[in-house]
């Protein structure tokens, strides 16, 4: 557990340029990246005609960890759930705008959500292992997608996924135990293992560590750091320290608007927007 | 003082006790600096006083009511002339009955002998005395209790704890009452069933293939030998319940899945109550629906296809019964499916499961115990249902597995055995209790097996 605290709340450099006013809600910072994995254009979400987020433009780059921070109810989780259309399950939810993946809008009527979700996996705030054995938890996704043909392949996949999620040594003797019998941190790593078992390209994480203790959190942060070599990871977090430790880019949301997006160091050391500075210096939120 | 008056007095005393206790508590504490010096809030002192006033007095009252009549009767009988007392027990009971009738002012046939008249007067006077004594005792007890608690009220008295203890005992009493009632029912059925098994051997009842509950009134009568083999009746029950479950479980479960997983709010809000109305239709209405609509329809269809279908068939009864118990399955399953956390569905969907895969692999296994519970409830309804079977499936105990024939069920036989004037010591009547016991045992086994299945296959979710 040799987690390095790279940044904290450092004092601002004196003599910087003036900040954007609090009333200004246009996104500041670099929304676009070169060769993005997913590209969101003017995304808005309404719950029963009540606006949750609006006018979000944001690119998600390849093999990057992008963190989304902001006060509660700012729409960061709503935005995250747009990326694999998990909002479809909420009755009365309407998504506007475009989210392009491989040049195709995922909200087009001819897009099937099932392969999309296999491509864009998700890990939730509360660990939600299925009420099945540890083995079946991992094998479930691969089986329904036909990624494995026989018991040997399944074994290999289960072992591989558990190893990648750093859970193998802890559970190798009890794969037939129910997934719910594990501790909270282990359950969350099981959920990550379950997500990577279907071989997604993007992994969405919605406050994956908020119900975990600091040690379990550190293990998962290390894991995220390793996973970014193969996957694109978008993570919503309440912990600014966590965002600064694990992400390359950070997006700050406020009351349904994307206020600022930029390299993580810049957001935390030298934000452009007054609201961002208020938040990271702990003035609210 | 009549019973009503006595109860009203007791109620008044209890209310008075409440206010006396509460005001005493307030008075006691105001001398020492307000309610905060009391152990409990003043209302608890009031409740405690009221409880002490009412509960012991009511207990005495109840016991008195239970035993008064027996004790007075014994006293009166002891005073009867020897020639009456030495009568056989049955005759003596008749005399006592007459006596009670005279006391109650009913008309009694025949002449009333002076001895009986005297005894009746004696009975009346004893009853008056008893009533008066009861009134005095209960009233005095209540008053003494109020006074006693009143004297004991101090800031240190732990009134709340005492009141809570009493409430706890009350709750315990309520929960055990149901258990004891069940035990009582089982014992009474068991007792009569044992009498039956003294006449008809157990193995003949359990394994006999013919059911024809006739007993001869005199020995030379034609058809004097009754047959008490329960197998056709049990098989009939199983057949009809089986058909009903074949209808209700798939329909109910799929309806529940649609309502909880696919339907939108508006449809669900309309459809669920409508479905539950099915459970509210009286079974006798289902019965004539089965007998007048479904059974003829089945017979006509059968005729067209070349089957011979009797006008009363197991199929008609089973189908209609299945419709009747759909809400038991659907409503309970719908509730448990809804209780499965959304996070599990999200987890499955986010792995790229389709809706149906999510339901089959994740939601239904998690909801299994509740679904089995609903199905079990439906099975017991199906086994216990009588009216539909009487009207649509007939009374003849055929040993058959053919759903197009008339069959009969355990409950229907119990009804036919016990309806009308019956001799209570004949095997025919007692057979009803044996059937009841058998039914009870079967349901019990069914429940235990289902519980074991659920425990084995249930999937825990947090």
pLDDT of residue A7: 43
Over residues B290-347, the pLDDT tens digits come to 888 998 898 888 888 887 788 788 888 999 999 999 998 998 899 999 999 999 999 9
Pick from A123-132, A266-275, B219-228: least confident: B219-228
- Asked if residues A187 and A215 have their Cβ atoms less than 8 Å apart, the reply is no
Interface of A with B in 204-223 (CB under 8 A): 204
CA angle B266, B268, B269 (to 5 degrees): 65
Q: Who contacts A23 (Cβ-Cβ below 8 Å, separation ≥6)?
A: none
Answering whether pTM is above 0.80, one says no
- Region B207-219 average pLDDT: 73
Compute CA distances B225 → A261, B219, B387, whole Å: 96, 9, 29
Cα dihedral angle (A207, A211, A215, A216), rounded to 10 degrees? -70
Indicate whether B172 pLDDT > 90. Answer: yes
Q: Looking at chain A, which runs of residues are DSSP E strands? A: 28-29, 36-47, 50-61, 65-69, 93-101, 104-105, 120-123, 202-206, 232-236, 249-254, 257-263
Q: Does A85 touch chain B (CB under 8 A)?
A: no
pLDDT of residue B180: 94
Shortest Cα distance, chain A CAs vs residue B341, angstroms: 9
For A114, the closest of B341, B342, B354 (CB atoms) is B354
- Angle of the B42-79 helix axis to the B159-199 helix axis, nearest 10: 40
Over residues B1-11, the pLDDT tens digits come to 678 888 999 99
- Region B67-81 average pLDDT: 84
Indicate whether B460 pLDDT > 80. Answer: no
Percentage of chain B lying above the pLDDT 70 cut: 95
Residue A86: its chain B contacts at CB < 8 A? 346, 349-350
Instruction: Label residue B220 by pLDDT band (50, 70, 90).
Output: low
- For residue A80, the tally of other CB atoms under 10 A from its CB is 20
- Cβ <8 Å between A194 and B357: no
Indicate whether A130 pLDDT > 80. Answer: yes
Cα B357 → chain centroid: 42
User: Rounded to an integer, what distance in angstroms lies between the CA atom of residue B411 and that of residue B390?
Assistant: 9
Indicate whether A5 pLDDT > 60. Answer: no
Pairing assessment for the beta strands A104-105 and A50-61 based on DSSP bridges: unpaired
Instruction: Label residue B217 by pLDDT band (50, 70, 90).
Output: low
Q: Token match 């005493």: residue?
A: B24
pLDDT of residue B267: 92
User: Domain for residue A45, yes or no?
Assistant: yes
For residue B154, give both structure tokens. Answer: 């101090």
Over residues A224-274, the pLDDT tens digits come to 998 889 999 999 998 899 999 999 999 999 999 999 999 999 999 989 999
Shortest Cα distance, chain B CAs vs residue A141, angstroms: 6
- Cβ <8 Å between A194 and B351: yes
Instruction: Label residue B190 by pLDDT band (50, 70, 90).
Output: very high
- Asked if residues A190 and A137 have their Cβ atoms less than 8 Å apart, the reply is yes
Q: Does B263 touch chain A (CB under 8 A)?
A: no
User: Rounded to an integer, what distance in angstroms lies between the CA atom of residue A15 and that of residue B260?
Assistant: 60
- Cβ <8 Å between A144 and B362: no
User: Domain for residue A71, yes or no?
Assistant: yes
Residue B65 three-state SS: helix
Question: What integer best gives the mean pLDDT of chain A?
Answer: 88
pLDDT of residue B183: 93
- Asked if residues B39 and B45 have their Cβ atoms less than 8 Å apart, the reply is no
Residue A89: its chain B contacts at CB < 8 A? 342, 345-346, 349
Instruction: Label residue B181 by pLDDT band (50, 70, 90).
Output: very high
User: Domain for residue A3, yes or no?
Assistant: no
- Cβ <8 Å between B362 and A130: yes
User: Rounded to an integer, what distance in angstroms lies between the CA atom of residue A260 and that of residue A257?
Assistant: 9
User: Domain for residue A49, yes or no?
Assistant: yes
Under 8 Å CB pairs connecting chains A and B tally to: 79
User: Domain for residue A180, yes or no?
Assistant: yes
Residue B460: its chain A contacts at CB < 8 A? 131, 178, 180
Instruction: Label residue A6 by pLDDT band (50, 70, 90).
Output: very low
pLDDT of residue B3: 82
User: Domain for residue A51, yes or no?
Assistant: yes
Count how many domains chain A has: 1
- Cβ <8 Å between A124 and B459: no
pLDDT of residue B319: 92
Over residues A133-191, the pLDDT tens digits come to 999 999 999 999 988 889 999 999 999 999 888 889 999 999 999 888 899 889 999 99
- Domains delineated in chain B: 3-157 (no CATH), 227-457 (1.10.3720.10)
For A131, the closest of B265, B354, B461 (CB atoms) is B461
Compute CA distances B367 → B116, B253, B329, B459, whole Å: 70, 11, 13, 8
pLDDT of residue B30: 82
- Region B398-424 average pLDDT: 82
Indicate whether B41 pLDDT > 90. Answer: no
- Cβ <8 Å between B347 and A194: yes
User: Rounded to an integer, what distance in angstroms lies between the CA atom of residue A138 and that of residue B154?
Assistant: 66
pLDDT of residue B419: 81
User: Rounded to an integer, what distance in angstroms lies between the CA atom of residue B409 and that of residue A26?
Assistant: 77
User: Domain for residue A1, yes or no?
Assistant: no
Nearest CA in chain B to A199: B351
Pairing assessment for the beta strands A93-101 and A36-47 based on DSSP bridges: antiparallel
Indicate whether B224 pLDDT > 80. Answer: no
Q: Who contacts B444 (Cβ-Cβ below 8 Å, separation ≥6)?
A: none
Interface of A with B in 87-116 (CB under 8 A): 89, 91, 114-116
Domain that holds residue A45: 28-280
pLDDT of residue A3: 43
- Cβ <8 Å between B459 and A84: no
pLDDT of residue A34: 87
- Asked if residues B25 and B45 have their Cβ atoms less than 8 Å apart, the reply is yes
For A121, the closest of B350, B459, B462 (CB atoms) is B350
CATH at A125: 3.40.50.300
pLDDT of residue B112: 72
Pick from A6-15, A89-98, A271-280, B141-150: least confident: A6-15
pLDDT of residue A12: 53
- Angle of the B314-339 helix axis to the B364-384 helix axis, nearest 10: 150
pLDDT of residue B308: 79
Over residues B227-255, the pLDDT tens digits come to 888 888 889 899 999 999 999 999 999 99
Over residues B256-299, the pLDDT tens digits come to 999 999 998 899 999 988 888 888 889 889 988 988 899 889 88
Residue A119: its chain B contacts at CB < 8 A? 352
According to DSSP, residue B113 is labeled P
pLDDT of residue B222: 60
Over residues B377-387, the pLDDT tens digits come to 889 888 888 88
CA angle B251, B256, B260 (to 5 degrees): 155
pLDDT of residue A237: 93
User: Domain for residue A11, yes or no?
Assistant: no
- Region B207-221 average pLDDT: 71
Which ipTM score applies to this complex? 0.85
- For residue B357, the tally of other CB atoms under 10 A from its CB is 19
> Reading across the β-sheet that carries A257-263, which strands appear in turn?
A28-29, A257-263, A249-254, A65-69, A232-236, A202-206, A120-123
Instruction: Label residue A15 by pLDDT band (50, 70, 90).
Output: low
């Amino acid at each position: 557990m040799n987690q390095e605290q790279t940044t904290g709340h450092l004092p601002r450099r004196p003599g910087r340029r003036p900040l954007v006013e609090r009333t200004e809600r246009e996104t500041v910072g670099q929304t676009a990246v070169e060769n993005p994995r997913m590209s969101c254009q003017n995304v808005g979400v309404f719950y029963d005609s009540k606006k949750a987020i609006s006018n979000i433009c944001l690119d998600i780059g390849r093999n990057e960890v992008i963190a989304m921070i902001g006060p509660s109810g700012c729409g960061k989780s709503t935005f995250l759930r747009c990326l694999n259309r998990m909002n479809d399950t909420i009755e009365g939810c309407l998504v506007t705008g475009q989210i392009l993946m491989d040049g195709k809008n995922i909200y087009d009527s001819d897009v099937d959500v099932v392969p999309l979700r296999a491509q864009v996996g998700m890990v939730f705030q509360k660990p939600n292992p299925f009420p099945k054995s540890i083995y079946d938890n991992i094998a479930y996704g691969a089986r329904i997608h036909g990624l494995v043909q026989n018991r040997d392949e399944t074994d290999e996949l289960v072992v591989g996924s558990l190893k990648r999620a750093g859970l193998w040594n802890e559970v190798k003797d009890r794969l037939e135990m129910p997934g719910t019998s594990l501790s909270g941190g282990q359950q969350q790593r099981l959920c990550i293992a379950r997500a990577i078992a279907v071989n997604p390209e993007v992994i969405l994480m919605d406050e994956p560590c908020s119900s975990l203790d600091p040690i379990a959190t550190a293990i998962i942060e290390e894991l995220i750091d390793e996973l970014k070599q193969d996957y694109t990871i978008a993570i919503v977090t309440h912990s600014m320290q966590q965002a600064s430790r694990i992400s390359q880019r950070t997006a700050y949301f406020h009351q349904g608007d994307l206020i600022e997006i930029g390299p993580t160091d810049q957001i935390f050391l030298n934000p452009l927007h007054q609201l961002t500075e208020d938040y990271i210096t702990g003035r609210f939120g | 003082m009549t019973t009503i008056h006595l109860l009203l007095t007791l109620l008044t005393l209890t209310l008075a006790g409440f206010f006396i206790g509460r005001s005493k508590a307030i008075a006691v504490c105001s001398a020492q600096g307000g309610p905060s010096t009391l152990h409990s809030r003043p209302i608890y002192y009031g409740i405690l006083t009221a409880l002490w006033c009412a509960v012991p007095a009511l207990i005495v009252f109840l016991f008195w009511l239970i035993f008064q009549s027996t004790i007075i009767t014994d006293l009166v009988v002891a005073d009867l002339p020897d020639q009456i007392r030495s009568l056989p027990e049955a005759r003596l009971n008749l005399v006592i009955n007459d006596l009670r009738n005279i006391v109650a002012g009913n008309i009694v046939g025949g002449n009333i002998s002076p001895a009986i008249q005297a005894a009746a007067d004696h009975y009346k006077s004893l009853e008056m005395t008893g009533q008066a004594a009861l009134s005095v005792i209960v009233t005095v007890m209540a008053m003494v209790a109020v006074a006693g608690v009143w004297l004991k009220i101090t800031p240190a008295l732990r009134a709340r704890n005492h009141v809570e203890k009493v409430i706890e005992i009350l709750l315990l009493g309520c929960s055990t009452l149901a258990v004891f009632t069940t035990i009582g029912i089982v014992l009474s059925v068991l007792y009569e069933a044992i009498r039956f098994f003294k006449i008809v051997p157990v193995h003949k009842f359990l394994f006999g293939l013919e059911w024809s509950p006739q007993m001869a009134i005199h020995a030379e009568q034609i058809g004097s030998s009754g047959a008490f083999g329960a197998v056709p009746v049990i098989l009939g029950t199983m057949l009809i319940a089986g058909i009903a479950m074949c209808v209700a479980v798939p329909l109910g479960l799929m309806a529940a899945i649609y309502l909880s997983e696919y339907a939108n709010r508006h449809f669900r809000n309309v459809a669920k109550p409508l479905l539950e109305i099915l459970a509210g239709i009286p079974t006798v209405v289902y019965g004539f629906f089965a007998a007048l609509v479904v059974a003829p329809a089945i017979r006509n269809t059968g005729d067209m296809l070349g089957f011979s279908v009797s006008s009363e068939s197991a199929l008609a009864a089973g189908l209609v019964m299945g419709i009747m118990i759909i809400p038991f399955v659907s409503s309970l399953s719908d509730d448990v499916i809804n209780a499965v956390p959304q996070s599990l569905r999200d987890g499955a969907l986010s792995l790229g499961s389709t809706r149906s895969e999510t339901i089959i692999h994740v939601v239904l296994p998690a909801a299994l115990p509740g679904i089995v519970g609903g199905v079990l409830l439906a099975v017991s309804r199906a086994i216990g249902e009588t009216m539909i079977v009487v009207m649509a499936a007939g009374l003849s105990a055929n040993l058959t597995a053919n759903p197009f024939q008339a069959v009969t069920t355990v409950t229907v036989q119990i009804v036919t055995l016990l309806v009308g004037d019956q001799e209570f010591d004949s095997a025919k009547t007692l057979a009803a209790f044996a059937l009841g016991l058998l039914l009870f045992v079967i349901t019990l086994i069914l429940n235990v097996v289902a519980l074991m299945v659920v425990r084995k296959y249930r999937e825990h979710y947090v």
